[in-house]
Amino acid sequence: MTSKSLRNIIIHEAELRDILSLLIFFISLDRDPETRLFYRAYRCDGFRSLWCFLTLIYKLTFKRLRKRFLMVLALREREIVGLCHIDMVRDAIGHFGIVVKPSFRGRGLGKLLAKRALLMIKALHVKHIFLQVDADNSRAIKLYKSLGFRICGYSKDYRYKTNEYVKCYLMKLTL
């Protein structure tokens, strides 16, 4: 990745003040067919926008203060262009997700966000990170493997919001 591709990108931990920008980001992603196909967290179409908004407020306040949630943002000119989130479900286990705006994909931004989030989460003594990825999402699988995630299982009947059944891999990273 060249420094030119990261020009004017600022990385920081999400806070409650970022809530409206996050909502705008997720609403814009819902219009992208590839994102809608693969990224399931924080869906913001129709009535789900309100649920998304309330979930983000909860996570960015209560869960973040209790060190049970981490979200790292990439901003360009005050606009969110990507993020990585880790939601702790037990003391040593977190669930992981990355999403980058289509126009910023393929530049290494997802990997940069993931590395920053994993470094921050390691300081909280999290031992294992899990994620679920569609078996046909080869770009994401390649990224996760480059970060050290390994396939540890699969789900045959994971349901898309589009009522389509797909095979998903479960992946694990031991920190």
As a whole number, mean pLDDT of residues 143-162 equals 82
| C-beta separation of 172 from 128 below 8 A | yes
| C-beta separation of 175 from 118 below 8 A | yes
Supply 140's token pair: 């994401």
Average pLDDT, the chain: 85
Check which CATH number belongs to the domain holding 63 and give it.
Answer: 3.40.630.30
Q: Name the residue range of residue 80's domain.
A: 3-174
CA distances for 131 relative to 40, 97, 104, angstroms: 12, 7, 22
Number of domains in the chain: 1
| C-beta separation of 96 from 84 below 8 A | yes
Which among 156, 160, 107 has a CA at the least distance from the CA of 170? Answer: 156
pLDDT in tens, 99-128: 999 999 989 999 999 999 999 998 888 889
How confident is the model at residue 80, as a pLDDT? 95
CA-CA distance, 18 to 96, in Å (whole number)? 20
pTM: 0.86
How confident is the model at residue 141, as a pLDDT? 95
Kindly report the backbone phi and psi dihedral angles of residue 56, in degrees, each rounded to the nearest multiple of 5, phi listed first: -65, -40
